[in-house]
Amino acid sequence: MTSFKAFWVEKNDDDVQHSVIERSVDDLPEGEVLIKVRYSSLNYKDALSSKGMPGVTRNYPHTPGIDAAGVVVESSNTAFSEGDEVIVIGFDLGMNTPGGYGEYIRVPAGWITALPAGMTLRESMIIGTAGLTAALCFDKLVRMGARPEDGPVVVTGATGGVGSVAVALLASQGFEVVASTGKADKHDYLKSLGASLVIDREQLGTGNPRPLLGEDYGHGVDTVGGDTLSNVIKSLRHSGSVAICGLVSSPAFSTTVLPFILRNVNVLGVDSVELAIEEKNRAWAHLASDWKVPGLEDMVVETDLDGLSAEVDRIFAGGVTGRTLVVL
């Protein structure tokens, strides 16, 4: 019987407690592949689960962690063998299935991506769900015909995990990037990732009743929602697109049909959780090669299981910049 450490969230009514406990591999659910986790990462959804917020995890106690990268220990599926380095992102991992904040996970083979050549396990979790989501936003924009000559791409919530990777990836692919943030002390950080201009989030975050605004941006990546998304849509140039993947301000936004019928703009939804594994594999392969994100180590802070509770609190206090790597 193999024992391991896991971050443990207990919830009794409104009282939520965190601890690091010892569990047994026998406690894990049935699944085809047992993986020893080397790295995970901290995402907003992990923070919600860790705080017992409704809509993420149904039953407690629970081990969050929607990301995991590690080494296969046992497999009943011929697609994976002992010693394979693998990535698991999304599906039910860390939501209602014990997640990457435990030293072992057991999951279906259909959730697993083989680590692509040209990428390390550490790099894969600096990228994590947030970085994969940013890559999927980029992919959607390109599929809609986005080109650097279309004009600047605005990235909202730019100091977050998705935003940081989006800024770096877009800039590395030749796009001019305008980064929107409320953190006045992070302008140099965003410019180091490749942003050519940094604007205060209030520039886009204040409600504006006008149906159309100036054509300031060729395209956009929005992690915020609410009035910010409304203003981005109104500010796109003809045939521009905005890829949307977040709601840190609000899940609701308001607009008219005018940007769509007068400027031919597109709103592109992006999901990295239930996306087919084939599409995830394709994006990971790009991230290991022609979409390789520069400066990953410049956007990461590290923690271990003992430090996770404090990092969760930092997310809700707005104190997190870039990516948080969980080293197991």
State the pLDDT at residue 184.
92
108/138 same-domain check: no
| DSSP-derived pairing of the beta strands 300-303 and 323-327 | parallel
CATH number of domain containing 92: 3.90.180.10
Local confidence band at 14 (pLDDT 50, 70, 90 cut-offs): confident
State the pLDDT at residue 13.
86
318 lies in some domain = yes
In the chain the first and final C-alpha atoms are separated, in Å, by 20
Q: What is the mean pLDDT of residues 200-224?
A: 96
288 lies in some domain = no
pLDDT in tens, 139-187: 999 999 999 999 999 999 999 999 999 999 999 999 999 999 999 999 9
pLDDT in tens, 244-292: 999 989 999 999 999 999 999 999 999 999 999 999 999 999 999 999 9
219 to each of 17, 150, 171, 235, 244, how far by Cα in Å? 43, 8, 13, 9, 11
pLDDT in tens, 29-63: 999 999 999 999 999 999 999 999 988 999 999 99
| DSSP-derived pairing of the beta strands 104-107 and 85-89 | unpaired
89/211 same-domain check: no
199/81 same-domain check: no
d(CA 317, CA 267): 30
Domain that holds residue 311: 3-115+295-327
* Half-sphere exposure (Cβ direction) of 148: Cα atoms closer than 13 Å: 9
State the pLDDT at residue 54.
85
pLDDT in tens, 82-94: 999 999 999 999 9
- CA 219 to mean position of chain CA atoms: 20
The residue behind tokens 């607009």 is 255
122 lies in some domain = no
Q: How many domains does the chain have?
A: 2
With a CB cutoff of 8 Å and minimum separation 6, the contacts of 280 are 89, 90, 113, 132, 272
123 lies in some domain = no
Exposed, middle or buried: residue 272 (CB in 10 Å: 0-12, 13-18, 19+)?
buried
